[in-house]
A and B are shown apart, each in its own frame.
Chain A
Amino acid sequence: MIEISGLRVVFGQTIALHSVDLTIRAGVAGLFGPNGAGKSTLLRVVAGLLRPSSGHVSVGGIPVTSADETLRRRIGYSGHDSGLYQRLSVRENLELFAGLYGATSTRVDTVMQQLGIGDRAGMPVGRLSAGLKRRASVARALLHEPDVLLLDEPYANLDDEAAAMMSDAVKAWRAPGRVALIATHGAKRVKSFADAGIIVQRGRVVSYRVRMPEGEVATSS
């Protein structure tokens, strides 16, 4: 569970997030909104990569600070950039992070297969197309089977087939107690399997709807 209270992020004169209060329970939550709404900032704060100006964020009851090793082990994050080493091959990158997270080589093969990048395993990441980099980046985020998955625009530059693989990989990762926050413009793709949808505009959460068996319920607006 991700709990956010009174979260405010200011960059100089710009307020990126205005006092956000949000509780995201287990499941997949889509984070929607136009460019500059604050989606990426929110993900970076939850990942512990950005210190908020004020407010509190906790994951599974543990306050988010980048220094907390226990928490970092539980987070899988794929940002705007691939977060991979350009001169290493896809496999070398994934083997490196597998070693750092204690994941097995078998797991490396599994995520590459899930995201359809197995045939590019030996290619340096720097030579991959934008779509393939995105898939490799999400493979890295999924590698250690995190409890909290934070994906920033995972469908960017993907064709329909690759986008379907991306959705399937997230669905395969999904398990009780796990929570994913997926920021995307492609609302349709995430809506098809998400448990909740959050709309952010100008740094404020304007809508938070949870899918229930009897239909959508607005929990916050």
Chain B
Amino acid sequence: MNEAGWLHKSALLVRKDLRVEARGRDTLPPMLAFAFAVTLLLAFTLPGSTRLAAPVSVPGGTVAVVDVVSGFLWITVLFAGLIGFARTFEVEREEGAIDSLLLVPLDRSGLFAAKAVANLAYIAAVQGVLLPTFALFFALDLGASWFVLVLVTILVDLGFVAVGTLFASLAAQTRSRELILPILALPALVPVFIAAVELTSDLFVGGGLDAVATRGWFGVLIAFDVVFMTIGALAFEFAID
């Protein structure tokens, strides 16, 4: 037998997940529906035509609209992601496919990578719809900084899917996994989403790469990604078994 390597086997599993999703549409539509509903609600609630740096009265003082918009953007991404990640192992739960998967001669880090990449595809698809919709509804003009937003989004997503996939594997073994996943994952995800909001707020008020790079949040994101991707790959074996 000519056995394939780690990368090829992981790629086969990613393709399987995306193919199953393309046929069942169980994961992406609920994520998109949630994201769109929240965006629509916010569009009616927030002063979309106001200048982004303008202060808005809140209990206890004022806050810039831009901070609210970037906060809501990432909260929407966070909860849309958790809706999808909770279903990470649903396809394996049907007909005991998890047993077949666990017996495959592939290091558990390969299973983790495959599931994380599939989750990354789902969250990227949601963001592909969400970011332009936010830009449209809240008159965001990123100018030449859109590529910095893409970079921030990629860094946020890597950490997000690493944490989400790892905790989804733990939550999958419980009956109330949709409830357990946020309880497990949210505390771990706080740093990455604070960094996301801080960086995006800067971008929304015209800051480019130079402005956001000096604030240190990029470092936080990169460190978070490295730490949680490593933990995920190493700890997945214990979580899934």
Contact = CB atoms under 8 A, between A and B. Distances in A.
Interface string B83-125: 0000000010011110110111111100000000000000000
A49 B107 CA distance: 15
Contact of A87 (B20, B237, B241): B20
A84 B8 CA distance: 20
B241 A66 contact: yes
Contacts of B49: none
A96 B9 CA distance: 9
Contacts of B4: 99-100, 102
Contacts of A80: 96
Given A67-B241, A87-B20, A99-B8, A72 B104 contact: yes
Given A88-B20, A101-B3, A47 B103 contact: yes
Nearest to B1: A102
B105 A82 contact: no
Nearest to B105: A73
A66 B99 CA distance: 10
B70 to A, nearest CB: 38
B97 A85 contact: yes
Interface string A118-151: 0000001100000001000000100011000000
A75 B103 contact: yes
A132 to B, nearest CB: 13
A144 B1 contact: yes
Given A72-B105, A144-B1, A100 B12 contact: yes
Interface in A70-117: 70, 72-73, 75, 77, 79-88, 92, 96-97, 99-104
A214 interface: no
Contacts of A92: 19
Given A102-B3, A144-B1, A88 B16 contact: yes
A30 interface: no
Given A80-B96, A100-B9, A67 B108 contact: yes
Contact of A81 (B13, B20, B96, B105): B96
Contacts of A75: 103
A76 B20 CA distance: 24
A80 B19 CA distance: 25
* Size class of the contact patch on chain A: 35 or more
Interface string A42-55: 00000111010000
A69 interface: yes
B24 interface: yes
B87 to A, nearest CB: 13
Given A67-B241, A87-B20, A100 B106 contact: yes
A13 B99 CA distance: 25
B25 to A, nearest CB: 10
B2 interface: yes
A79 B96 CA distance: 8
Given A83-B99, A84-B95, A97 B104 contact: yes
B91 A85 contact: yes
A102 to B, nearest CB: 3
A69 B106 contact: yes
B23 to A, nearest CB: 4
Contacts of B91: 85, 87
Given A99-B12, A102-B4, A84 B108 contact: no
Interface of B: 1-4, 8-9, 12-13, 16, 19-20, 23-24, 91, 94-97, 99-100, 102-108, 237, 241
Given A51-B241, A83-B95, A85-B16, 10 more contacts: A47-B99, A49-B103, A66-B102, A66-B241, A73-B3, A77-B99, A80-B96, A81-B96, A82-B95, A87-B91
Which 4 pairs from chain A and chain B are nearest by CB?
A: A81-B96, A102-B3, A83-B100, A73-B105
